[in-house]
Structure formats: C-alpha cells, structure tokens
C-alpha cells in the first residue's frame, strides 16, 4: 500500500511539475522571485529533452510501482506513458514541445515588460 502511494504521489508531482514548466513563468508576473524557480524548471526540461537524462520523479514512480507489485513504467518513460497518445497524438510531439517553448518565452517577455 505504501509503495503504491509513493508511485501515485510521484505521478501527481510529475504532472504538477510539467504544468508549472508550461505556465509557471506567468506566476512570476505576480510573484517576481518565482522566476528563478521557473528558470531552473525550464532548464531541467530542456536538459531532459536534449540529453535524454531520466527524471528522478520517473524513477521514483517506477520504483514505487514495482515495489507494489505493479508493472513498472515503460522504458520510454512518464511522458510517453501518460501524455503522448493520450493528451496529443504521438506524431505531434515536436509541435507540443514548440507550444510549451512559446508559452515559456511569452511568459518571460511579459515578465520583462511588466518589470519595467
């Protein structure tokens, strides 16, 4: 039971992390100091895409699922399992990434403009 909670908590935190990566820059319009957190989150997103480094949240969820006697996440990882093919078709992965990048850049431009 406890391992299942670990897996589920890691999954929820992972979804929240991805939502924050996409729109968290807009929070900095109101709470300016959060821009540093968002820069780190966005950098991690870029790093994970460019290098393919595995996210610790994916590892935690996979570990929790396996310890609970469930099937682990597929080798392709969290996004392929929960998002690609569910939220958007797999063929649109690059378009989805571009959309998130545009959102982040727009939030940063807005941050700079609002700061002046």
> For 67-87, how does the pLDDT look when each residue is reduced to its tens digit (9 = 90+)?
999 998 887 788 888 988 888
What is the reported pLDDT for 73?
Answer: 87
| More confident: 115 or 105 | 105
**C-alpha to C-alpha distance for 87 and 64, rounded to whole angstroms:** 24
Q: Which residues on neighbouring strands pair with residue 84, listed in sequence order?
A: 88
- How much of the chain exceeds pLDDT 70, in percent? 100
Q: Within 13 Å and on the Cβ side, how many CA atoms surround 34?
A: 13
Tell me what percent of the chain is helix, strand and coil, each rounded to the nearest 5: 80, 0, 20
Give this prediction's pTM. Answer: 0.87
Question: What confidence tier does 52 reach under pLDDT thresholds 50, 70, 90?
Answer: confident
For tokens 């996004």, what's the residue?
79
Please state the domain extents for the chain: 2-115
Spatial CB neighbours of 54, under 8 Å, sequence gap ≥ 6: 48, 77
């Amino acid at each position: 039971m406890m391992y299942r909670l670990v897996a589920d908590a890691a999954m929820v935190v992972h979804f929240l992390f991805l939502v924050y990566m996409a729109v968290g820059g807009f929070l900095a319009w109101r709470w300016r100091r959060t821009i540093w957190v968002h820069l780190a989150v966005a950098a991690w997103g870029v790093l994970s895409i460019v290098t393919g480094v595995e996210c610790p949240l994916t590892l935690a969820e996979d570990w929790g699922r396996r310890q609970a006697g469930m099937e682990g996440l597929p080798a392709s990882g969290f996004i392929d399992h929960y998002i690609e093919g569910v939220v958007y078709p797999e063929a649109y992965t690059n378009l989805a990434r571009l959309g998130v990048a545009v959102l982040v850049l727009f939030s940063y431009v807005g941050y700079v403009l609002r700061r002046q």
